[in-house]
Structure 1
């Protein structure tokens, strides 16, 4: 590669947009450039890196292996440059887009209070919230596809920084009238014999509950797997199903049902925010974390 002094670093911004959009005109729109200007920049990138970088497949630009190898280091490099050039203080009155990944459990707890305040004090802030599996959230943070992920992450790679937000506990939701009579409370015998509801994105079955039970050589029968926390409590009434989930996600549904502690000890639920360590000095991200913390569950 040429000496750094001879390289136009603006080309890296173009490459970043092309990798993200994989489409010439959309990359040009994202960069507020003309399509011929982006095409010219791509030609210069190809000469500089001695690689075609993209091949046309239909209407898309398919990255070459070399381009894919550059994706992560390019994202990290541009993030570091933006951190250097960004003021120490974030201006919440400016236009800014945040990308967040969270389950509906997390968004239900945080967004109803967070959004009214953001609209009041920072109307230029836009949030895009997506839902992925836990592994996909971590991968998106590592790749720079999202700014922040909110959830429960028992293990994280070293490049990820975690910020504790709050702790919750497990509770069990059931319909006493649909359990074997006479109902004498949630005993261990009833828990092991009953069918259960599992909340898991994309059908994953290795939740903290089941890993904990497996460690103690126990297992439960999963009769229903759902991807959404908000739907799960609604399927309990009129069935013998038991839902074991975060207490705060079940309290609103407990009026006509029984909300009981598990008949054995389960570890607490630690809800955290995670981002890449390269973003730890980012004033915009620090500001967003401060806003999230204001409305944490007590």
Structure 2
């Protein structure tokens, strides 16, 4: 804001006196906004963004853009989708910067409305209204097996899937709930390992006949690298939408529109290519 710390303190002091509220309270090393401060942010955020856009040059030039974009996303998207859009982004706009925030599904609206996130990339678990969204692609689910697994050279039946031990990876972005819906009414799978990262499951995949069920994008990236066998699910499973989501205040920002167009094009092509390479049809249930 081009203000010194002392000048900012004076401005805050006058504002606190004007509205009769401390605005921030200190908790350890952090300043926590009061309810009044949050209400002010809600009321002023969109008008200020509109004013900023009105005062911005009409024609956007990525080469001269030095904006910092804040993106809320999941570890899954960070590993499998988003990094593949970054080379083109920096090629077109070498002066931009990014800050990535852990996406919190229960606070998605707040992250985009109050916490400064420009964009979210995730699998929406419920309606995102009043936010704006666009689907990047549809993602299926596959099974990873060791090349020494008893089913490595044969087809997998539903009974096989239920009988063999499983590992669930937390990074899989909500796939567990979707699988449970698809398997409703059937015996529960025997889950021997729940881990945050895939490496934990890979460490034991050669010591037991483990089945690791993951989104197709993750299977695509790791199968060849770790000499794993990829198997389709032996039951019907509808691929899920992976989307980018943003607040209406960013709808007509030239910089935001440019960023969304790059993410949509690059990530959409990537998902489609992986579907083709792995022989999947992401328009129909698996």
TM over 0.5: yes
Determine the structure 2 residue equivalent to 1:142.
Answer: 113
Q: 1:67-102 deviations in whole A, cap 9, x for unaligned?
A: 233343333343333233334433212211001122
2:188 aligns to what?
Answer: 219
Q: 2:67 is matched with which residue: 82, 96, 101? A: 96
Q: Could you tell me which residue of structure 2 aligns to residue 290 of structure 1?
A: 261
Q: Give the structure, 1 or 2, with the largest relative contact order (CA under 8 Å, sep 6 or more).
A: 2
Contact 1:113/1:295 (8 A) holds in 2: yes
User: How far apart are 1:138 and its partner, in Å?
Assistant: 4.6
Q: Note closer, same or farther for the CA distance 1:242–1:125 as it changes in structure 2 (3 Å cut).
A: same
Please state if 1:260 is matched with 2:250: no
Shift of 1:209: 1.8
Secondary structure, counterpart of 1:290 in structure 2: helix
Please list, as runs of the form range in 1=range in 2, the aligned pairs for 1:184-195 lying within 5 A after superposition: 184-195=154-165
> Could you say if the C-alpha distance between residues 149 and 234 of structure 1 is closer, same or farther in structure 2, counting changes exceeding 3 Å?
farther
Give the distance between the partners of 2:198 and 2:111, measured in 1 at CA: 22
What is the number of residues matched between the two proteins? 266
User: Is 1:166 equivalent to 2:137 in the alignment?
Assistant: yes
The 8 Å contact of residues 149 and 209 in structure 2, kept in 1 or not, is answered as yes
Deviation at 1:126, TM superposition (A): 0.7
- Residue pair 1:98, 1:147 contacting (<8 A) in 2 also: yes
8 Å contact 1:171–1:259 — kept in the other structure? yes
Counterpart-to-counterpart distance in 1, 2:74 and 2:26? 36
CA distance in 1, matches of 2:214, 2:68: 32
> Any conservation in 2 of the 1:172–1:243 contact (CA below 8 Å)?
yes
TM-score, normalisation: structure 2: 0.79
Structure-2 separation of matches of 1:102 and 1:194? 32
1:224, distance to aligned residue in structure 2 (A): 2.0
> Residue 105 of structure 1 contacts residue 229 of structure 1 at CA under 8 Å; is this kept in 2?
no
- Taking only aligned residues, the RMSD between alpha carbons, in angstroms, comes to 3.0
Residue 235 (structure 1) shift: 5.1
TM normalised by structure 1 equals: 0.77
Give the corresponding residue for 1:21.
none
Map of 1:74 onto structure 2: 44
Cα 1:58–1:42, aligned 2, differ >3 Å: closer, same or farther?
same
* Correspondence for 1:126: 97
- How far is the alpha carbon of 1:64 from its aligned partner? 2.9
Query: Which residue of structure 2 aligns with residue 151 of structure 1?
Result: 122
Say whether the 8 Å CA contact 2:80–2:221 is kept in structure 1: no
Matched, 1:83 2:53: yes
- 8 A Cα contact 1:110 1:292, kept in partner: no
Q: Does 1:198 align with 2:164?
A: no
- Structure 2 gaps, min length 5: 273-286
Consecutive unaligned residues in structure 1, runs of 5 or more: 1-30
Equivalent residue for 2:281? none
Cα offset, 1:40, TM superposition: 1.3
Q: Secondary structure at the match of 1:150?
A: strand
1:281 partner SS: coil
Moved more, 132-141 or 46-55: 132-141
- Structure 1: how far apart are the matches of 2:61 and 2:247? 22
Q: Does the 8 Å contact 2:72/2:121 carry over to 1?
A: yes
